[in-house]
Structure 1
């Protein structure tokens, strides 16, 4: 797999060669992911219905409504012929949020039938001409129906990129990072995979190990324990915190192959004193935590404790 952006565009934290990151995510997704029926189709109409229903609605709640909707109106032509009041009534009865979404979906179906002779636009720009279809939805349909989209950037993806690669909280930076990481010509699997990562492993409260996050090896947040993100309130009192100390341990061990406790300690805290409050016992506890997380190896021999990054 390859990146889609030049090295000069690439945000600093994103790997210069993203192929290992790409492969890890796609393999993780293809091995196991949440099963939703709209992930089993490439029909643009069915995918558009799922995208519109999913706006601000939990995916698990959408499944029954999506299946009922398609049972009643299985094609864009069938929906275009329906009475709009019936479509809006369906939306209300299934608690799918703002009724204007139903109205726009009905109008979009009519556009496909009347203006495009039943042939769907295949790229984000063309799909954006449909009523009520914004840039995000147009890109999703282009990606999942035609494998012809751009890298998706939603709240979940921003959270993943911010945590994993220290991408700054800036829309342009997120778009550049997402585009750099997405392998060319694979928007369908990639956008599904990175949104799945944000939905099951890198939620507001992360489950890195439980969900077997495939990016732990590269993830800055996993190394430091700082899981703040644009949609997650900043954790208080970072200065002097255990999270900060974890990060300093990792940084020091990246610089050196291995370090004895009394060589590592001063690089973590300037007030390190072997027998003091922030001394060997405190540092061993910090290293034990990192070892439990699979980040650091600790060896004891000849009266010395030596730490190194886990390979």
Structure 2
């Protein structure tokens, strides 16, 4: 725990608060399949897929992904283009995540003899695994994580205990709240609270929030919360166009740039013509997702192998 002063109310009985939340979570919670496993690989896949993707859509993709590549060894041996195509076809967001997940599997096999590292710091050494994901895998696979501090948790702590809208205050409060040695159940429980009871529009009574007894917002009626970043529009975005390029190339060995263009945009040309598309595929090439071959006065594009 940090040496900083507590961000929680001085008279708060943390033991009662902890017990109330854990009891509420264990009595009834959303039954996602990755909550039924402590396999680090399966949990990592779920965490990477869940980034900015609706959980309902992740379930089917997660199950199909593990059917196709059930272990890190299977994923490490896979053709990266196949993994990226799977990602694109299931609309799982940024294709870089597929590339990083594939590379992380290779690291586990090559550097750790197929056995996942177990601490947040070690897990952060895997490609594409940031502090949040590393802590989630350590928590849910090994019960060895720190307190999760994401947007949902900040909202819960701010409303329930009037924790100031300050990152360091949230980290201190979250660490104080988590029972020692219970990161698996605690982090699941507090994220569940933020996901079903203390959403942007709260449903305190309907969801039977276990913290109503102590909740500052419930008492005062002031349910303001820290600002939540807005997701930029996907339709027509560069991210959407990148996904289209990868998805289309998954159907062909290679395509000329000018043959690819109209398949990516029906309005191909002008500001969104050859120069725009070349820049787009060059970025994808830098990310290791496609190969660009300039030959015979033409540009050919294919998925990276």
From 143, 151, 165, the equivalent of 1:147 is 143
Within 5 Å, give how 1:104-123 maps onto structure 2.
104-123=100-119
Q: Which has the larger radius of gyration?
A: 1
1:23 matched to 2:33: no
Which of 135, 138, 154 is residue 131 of structure 2 equivalent to? 135
**1:36 aligned to 32, 56, 68, which one?**
32
Task: Indicate the residue corresponding to 2:279 in structure 1.
Answer: none
Cα deviation for residue 17 of structure 1 reads 3.3
Displacement of 1:232: 6.1
Aligned residues between the structures: 229
Residues 168-213 of structure 1: CA deviation (Å, up to 9, x unaligned): 0110000000000000000000000000000000000000000000
1:97 aligns with 2:93: yes
DSSP 3-state at the match of 1:98: coil
1:55 has 2:51 as partner: yes
Stretches (4+) displaced over 4 A: none
Match of 1:82 among 78, 89, 104: 78
Kept in 1: contact 2:151–2:228 (CA 8 A): no
TM-score where L is the length of structure 2: 0.73
Over 3 Å counting, the alpha-carbon distance change for 1:14 and 1:123 in structure 2 is farther
Q: Quote the Cα distance in structure 1 between the aligned partners of 2:220 and 2:140.
A: 35
Contact kept? 2:8, 2:173, Cα under 8 Å: no
Counterpart-to-counterpart distance in 2, 1:12 and 1:52: 32
Structure number with higher relative contact order (C-alpha < 8 Å, ≥ 6 residues apart)? 2
Contact 1:14 1:177 in 2 (8 A): no
Contact 1:36 1:63 in 2 (8 A): yes
Q: Determine the C-alpha separation between the residues in 2 that align with 1:162 and 1:200.
A: 16
Give distance in 2, aligned partners of 1:82 and 1:88. 11
Decide which of 122, 126, 137 is 1:126's aligned counterpart: 122
Give the gaps of 5 or more residues in structure 1. Answer: 234-311
Partner of 1:206: 202
Q: Distance in 2 between matches of 1:141 and 1:17?
A: 29
Give, in whole Å, the separation in 2 of the partners of 1:210 and 1:5: 35
CA distance in 2, matches of 1:98, 1:197: 27
Residue by residue, what CA displacement relative to the aligned partner does 1:25-59 show, whole Å, maximum 9, x if unpaired? 00000000000000000000000000000000111
- Root-mean-square deviation (CA), in Å? 1.4
Tell me the equivalent position of 1:175. Answer: 171
